[in-house]
Chain A
C-alpha cells in the first residue's frame, strides 16, 4: 500500500498519478472469521480497525449490504462536538473528540478535521442558565467550554440577525475544539487502515438470515453465501430492529426515524464556525463546507420511517430557521436534500453492550449523534468484543438501564424517541 506522504504526492505529480494502489481490497468472503461486524458504516469500519489495531485480532470481516459510506456515513451534517453532561456520555464523547484530533495521522488519511468552534446560540435568560449549567459541567470534567456575550458573538460572527429577530440573540455557548470533518474521508480512511491490518471489507453483502444454535449465533446467511463467525457485532443503526428480529430477540428500546440534511450552492466564505439555533420549536444547525456550500439540518420528520426520503414541511421549517438567524441566505439556492434513518432511543443515548446471545454484541441507538461518536464507538465496541468487559464509560450504555432506572437522558425529554433530537 502506498502511503500518503509528501514524497509520494510529489513523485506521483511527476508521473501522472500512476503509482497509487487500490485503497482497499475487494476479497471473496472466507468460510469463517473470528469476528464479523455487520454494517460497513463509520462505526463498523472503526470497530474493525480498532479490533485489529488495539486488540491484535485480524481475522475480521465487515459486511455491508450496499457500499461503504453509502448509508448514514454519507447522510449527516458532519458536526463533531463533546458538549455532553451525563456521566459516561461526557467522557465517551470527549474521548471521541481526542481521537478525532489525531485521526488523520493515525489513519494516514486526511479526514479534513477542522476545529472551527461550535457556537450554540441562546435567546433567553433561562436558556443561558441551562447552557451555563451544561458548559460548567463540561469545564469541571476537563472539556474547555465558554459562554460568549453578545459583543463577543458579534465580533466573531458579524452577519447573524442581531437586528430584528423574533427571538433576539443574547449570546452563545461555545466549544472551540469542536468543528467538523469530511464524512467520506472518514469512511475511506478507516476502511483503508483496517484493510491494511487484514480486515476483509465485503461490500454488496446483505445479511438475510441469522442461524442460531440455542444461545449462540452459528453463522450468517448473506447475499454472498453463508459465513461462520466466532463473534458477531451489529453496527447497523437505523436498521438495528430488523436484524434484532432476524436473531429472534424481540423488541428494542429503539424507533427508526429519519432526519434530513440540506446543501446549497457554493458561495464565498461566509461562516467560519458551526452555528446551532434552537428556540420556539425550531432546531437548526449550519456550517460551510470547504467547497463553499452551506450544509444545514433541522428536526426529525416526526413520524417513524425506514424510507431514506425526506418530506417537504421540514424543508420549509429548516429554511425558515435559516432565515431567522442568517437572513443573508435569503436568495441562496438549495441544491440537494436527503434523509438518513436513525435509531432514536428511549432516552436519547446509545447502546454498546452485550446481548442475550453470548457471541453477539450490539452497537446501536446513535440518535442525532452518530457521526461525531464514530471513533470512540469503534474504540469501545472493539474493546467490548475483545475483552468481554464493558469499559467503565459505557457500563450503563446497555439494554438493562431502563429497568434499572439509569436513563441517560441528556435533554430530559422522557421515553419518546422522536423528542431526543
Chain B
C-alpha cells in the first residue's frame, strides 16, 4: 500500500485516491499544430524513476494533488495541491482575515 500525505486530510492509504496520470503534460494552445496535439495526447516519457503525477482524493476531500513519486520504488517525495491558490488557503490560520 502506498501512503499519500494529503495536505488537507493527512496521511491516507492510496486506495482512497484515484490515479490521474502524468502531471507534466503541457497541452498546446487550441490553435496548436496537429503534431503538437498528437504528441501531448498520445506520447509519454514513461519515466523510470521520479516523476510528477496527479492523484484525486476521491474518498476524502476530493482535492486533486500533484505527487512526486518514484515509479521504481513507489517512494513519495512530495505532495501538493494541483491548484496553485489552494496552497495559500490551506496555510491560512483561523485568525487570518478572509
For A256, what are the chain B residues with a Cβ–Cβ distance below 8 Å? Answer: 46, 48, 71
Residue of A nearest to B39 (CB): A251
Interface size class of B (residues with CB under 8 A): 20 to 34
Given A302-B19, A312-B1; A307-B46 close (CB under 8 Å) = no
B77 CB, nearest partner CB in chain A, Å: 15
Majority DSSP secondary structure for residues of B touching A: mixed
Residue of A nearest to B46 (CB): A241
Given A303-B19, A311-B2; A252-B71 close (CB under 8 Å) = no
Residue of A nearest to B51 (CB): A304
Majority DSSP secondary structure for residues of A touching B: mixed
By the criterion of a CB under 8 Å from any partner CB, how many residues of chain A are at the interface?
27
B83 CB, nearest partner CB in chain A, Å: 21
A402 to B34, CA, bound (A): 11
A252 to B69, CA, bound (A): 20
For B71, what are the chain A residues with a Cβ–Cβ distance below 8 Å? Answer: 256, 304-307
Query: Residues 302-331 of chain A: 1 if any B CB is under 8 Å from the residue's CB, otherwise 0?
Result: 111111010111000000000000000000
Interface: A242 (CB within 8 A): yes
Interface: A403 (CB within 8 A): yes
Query: Residues 36-48 of chain B: 1 if any A CB is under 8 Å from the residue's CB, otherwise 0?
Result: 0011011111101
A253 to B44, CA, bound (A): 6
A250 to B48, CA, bound (A): 14
For A416, what are the chain B residues with a Cβ–Cβ distance below 8 Å? Answer: 21
CB pair A403 B72 closer than 8 Å: no
Contact of B44 among A254, A309, A311 (CB under 8 A): A254
A135 CB, nearest partner CB in chain B, Å: 30
CB pair A254 B41 closer than 8 Å: no
Residues of A within 8 A of B (CB): 239, 241-242, 250-256, 302-307, 309, 311-313, 346, 402-403, 415-418
**What are 16 A-B pairs with beta-carbon distances under 8 A?**
A241-B45, A241-B46, A242-B48, A251-B45, A252-B43, A253-B44, A255-B22, A255-B46, A304-B46, A306-B72, A307-B71, A309-B74, A313-B13, A346-B41, A346-B42, A403-B35
